[in-house]
Structure 1
Amino acid sequence: MSEPTRHYPGRWWHPLADGRIQCDLCPRDCKLRDGQRGACFVRMREGEQMVLTTYGRSSGFCIDPIEKKPLNHFHPGTSVLSFGTAGCNLACKFCQNWDISKSRDMDRLMDQASPEQIALAALSAGCASAAFTYNDPVIFAEYAIDTALACRAHGVHPVAVTAGYIHADARREFYAVMDAANVDLKAFTEDFYFKLTGAHLQPVLDTLVYLRHETEVWTEITTLLIPGHNDSTAEIEALCRWIYRELGPDVPLHFTAFHPDFKLRDIPPTPPGTLSRARQIACDQGLHYAYTGNVHDTAGGTTFCPGCAKPLIVRDWYRILDYQVTESGHCPHCHTAIAGRFGQYAGSFGQRRIPVRLSEAP
């Protein structure tokens, strides 16, 4: 194939009186002179315009179980074609994908693929969905939007795995073409966000409220619990109360285990007991679907009916051991509706992770 445009015209920016231009994609509001890059590194001023330097280029493609995103209520058991680019608009000291999200080496973007190629690759691999993940798709929104539209045209569901750090105008256009999203709610204090991510909490909360009340996007939330930083009972209770009050009890919440990485290598891994405690707090606060992740915990991975409490989808990590939700999305025992996007269950994709190449290296 011919090499795709690397400096794709970017959107969501405006000129400033002092000669700089301001990026309006996310709350960082980067102000740039010619040749300067934003904090995400991939959005750059080139002449008198903003450009996206990673359009059509990926750090790699893999076929994953949808539960790995994690999405437990979005076509369970199906597979998803996952890919990302490089860069990020947050500066998380605990980033688990820092080799991709913090990369300044564009040469690591070995796979080239147009939106149409990605959609066709997902279709030919039997994937129900295509996920923008590994690094935050907000920063390559133009590429993600075009790819989402191509996926929808071929009956493939576009999925965003994101920190939700995006301005309102771009947010409307970005989520208008997504069928599902998992949003990282990294903590529930401004102090954590400012010191450990270089960002702010409120824009993320605004994104979650927008998704829940103004879109049809199926939304789940992930909180990575870091010992000593965001795992106190008081903070978890406050987080769960906010979700219940502002989003309702049916938005699934995943508590996942931290492992030492990037700039937080001196913090121990999250004890399994911390995850179980957090899940119990969520249940006590009225949330219907709370999960533990990155650990083998069958109880913590199981979807229970909020009506009769029977186990309906039993999981061990990403593997489904038993599935009882009806095709219409109901409990077969008491007929309570189970929140989510369900259909005919064809079995579990399991815990496989299959690397895929869509093109030869440039």
Structure 2
Amino acid sequence: MNTDHSSSTRYWHALENGKLQCDLCPRFCKLNDGQRGLCFVRGRVGNEIRLLSYGLSSGFCIDPIEKKPLNHFLPGTPVLSFGTAGCNLACRFCQNWDISRSRYTESLCDSASPEQLVRTAVAHDCRSIAFTYNDPVIFHEYAIDVAKACHQHGLNSVAVSAGYVCPAPREEFYRHMDAANIDLKAFSERFYKNICGGHLAPVLETLEYIYHQTNTWLEITTLLIPDENDTDREIAQLSRWIGEHLSDEVPVHFTAFHPDWKMMNHRPTPLDTLQRARMIAREEGLKYVYTGNLPDPEGNTTYCPECNSPLIKRSGYMILDWALTPQGKCGHCGHRIPGYFEPTPGHWGSRRLPVNISRQ
């Protein structure tokens, strides 16, 4: 592990005016010596751009895999989760703003090498390690090194990301990811520009790339914010795009917003908005649509699209009933359910267990 917590990076080039342009994400930050990009963890040091948070984290925790959320990837199993600091978007509603908007390396109070992370995951019977809480795109080199260590020890790597990344680093990154949940924040350029400080098109490109050109298991999450991205029309357009450009079998999660960061004046998302979104998405042909962040037994349940039998009943992150065959098929009609399923589900439940990596 790098004792100075910095690492060389590949995705940048020199400009004629003497600045260096970061080519990791579509922000294309142009930096003088000593400057950092918007993400804050990548900065210019001399004549190169370096990752300045390699091996550092804002904390480690064992979560249920359903919390990522992933409902079709090793249900019921525990996942070692961690993030760093900073982000390459500037979402006004960020619900992890104390981490993603952090500008202080003091918030990165924990450290771990890829090998320490793997040892900890194995010691706690985790099946996966997840890069989450803030976007792993910005700690690209560290995340890939952890993913490589995972694969050497039979663990899976999981990326929870907004998908805001350029083509070349995207290709390298997802070559090492076993599963991903991409946060499709809305289906309008207005929302991305005014509320996230980004653009919609690169995210759609990432979704298409992951689904069509990688073996990474993909699920999608959209946080619905009242009066911002929750109209019937936009939800239908988003759902239709997924069905036409990806597949009607990609699991989609509609989750509830609660006021935070710079959108404290907005009201929380009511349950009926999530239920309405789920109904619209199913009417558009999507087969696996879920609700999250609010109690909703029907919206938490996986149904067979062929015979409509409940196959995985959940209460939040807890699995209550399991009707899949050991081969991942509907136990009633035999229809194959897409995903990565083991013969029996895990039993981690809804526990959240903070861990101290330094003691491993």
TM-score, reference length from structure 2: 0.98
Match of 2:191 in 1: 192
SS in 2 for 1:292: strand
Cα 1:8–1:347 change in 2 (3 A) is: closer
Any idea what the Cα deviations from partners look like across 1:290-315, whole Å, max 9, x if unmatched? Answer: 00000111000000001111000001
Q: Find the aligned partners of 1:9 and 1:335 in 2 and give their Cα distance.
A: 50
Task: Name the residue aligned to 2:241.
Answer: 242
One-letter amino acid of the counterpart of residue 287, structure 2:
H
Instruction: Give the aligned partner of residue 158 of structure 1.
Output: 157
- Structure-1 separation of matches of 2:251 and 2:2: 41
Contact 1:164 1:183 in 2 (8 A): yes
What whole-Å deviation, never above 9, does each CA across 1:2-33 have from its counterpart, x for those lacking one? 87332211221111111111101000001101
1:142-291 matched pairs, under 5 angstroms: 142-291=141-290
Distance (Å, rounded) in 2 between the aligned partners of 1:217 and 1:275: 27
Match of 2:348 in 1: 349
Q: Which runs of 4+ in 1 moved over 6 A?
A: none
Cα displacement string for residues 309-342 of structure 1 (whole angstroms, at most 9, x for unaligned residues) = 1000001111111011122211111111101111
CA contact (8 A) 2:74 2:345 kept: no
SS in structure 2 of the partner of residue 288 of structure 1:
coil
In percent, how many aligned pairs have the same letter?
59
Query: For 1:109-168, what per-residue CA distance to the aligned partner results, in whole angstroms no more than 9, with x for missing partners?
Result: 111100111111111110011000000000000000000000111111000000000000
- Which residue matches 2:28? 29
**Residue 120 of structure 1 contacts residue 154 of structure 1 at CA under 8 Å; is this kept in 2?**
no
Gaps of 5+ in 1: none
Taking a change above 3 Å as real, the CA distance of residues 181 and 358 of structure 1, as seen in their structure-2 partners, is same
Does structure 2 retain, via aligned residues, the 8 Å contact 1:83–1:132?
yes
In structure 2, C-alpha distance between the alignment counterparts of 1:347 and 1:24, rounded to whole Å: 40
| Contact 1:4 1:112 (8 Å CA) reproduced | no
Q: Deviations over 1:174-205 (max 9, x none)?
A: 00000000000000000000000000000000
Q: Distance in 2 between matches of 1:142 and 1:116?
A: 15
Letter in 1 for 2:337: I
The AA in structure 2 aligned to 1:290 is V
The SS at the match of 1:28 is coil
CA–CA distance in structure 2, aligned partners of residues 65 and 159 of structure 1 = 12
Offset, 1:211: 0.5
Q: Find the aligned partners of 2:270 and 2:111 in 1 and give their Cα distance.
A: 40
Q: Distance in 2 between matches of 1:287 and 1:236?
A: 12
Unaligned runs of at least 5 residues, structure 2: none
State the aligned residue count: 359
1:227 Cα deviation after fit: 0.2
Change (3 A) 1:347 1:178: closer
Indicate conservation of the 8 Å contact 2:75/2:345, yes or no: no
One-letter code of the match for 2:185?
Answer: K
Aligned AA (1:269) = P
Say whether the 8 Å CA contact 1:260–1:268 is kept in structure 2. yes
Match of 2:336 in 1: 337
Which residue identity lines up with residue 192 of structure 1 in the other structure?
F
User: Could you tell me whether the CA contact under 8 Å between 1:58 and 1:86 is conserved in 2?
Assistant: yes
SS at match of 1:359: helix
One-letter amino acid of the counterpart of residue 188, structure 1: F
Distance 2:198 2:347 in 1: 37
1:89-108 CA-partner distances (Å, limit 9, x unpaired): 00000000000000011111
CA contact (8 A) 2:290 2:301 kept: yes
Q: Normalising by structure 1, report the TM-score.
A: 0.98
1:126 is paired with a residue of what secondary structure? Answer: coil
SS at match of 2:203: helix
Q: Which region of structure 1 is more displaced relative to structure 2, 299-308 or 337-346?
A: 337-346
CA distance 1:105–1:323, shift in 2 (3 Å): same
Confirm or deny: 8 A CA contact 1:4 1:55 kept in the other structure: no
SS of alignment partner, residue 181 of structure 2? strand
Measured after TM superposition, the shift of residue 346 of structure 1 is 4.3
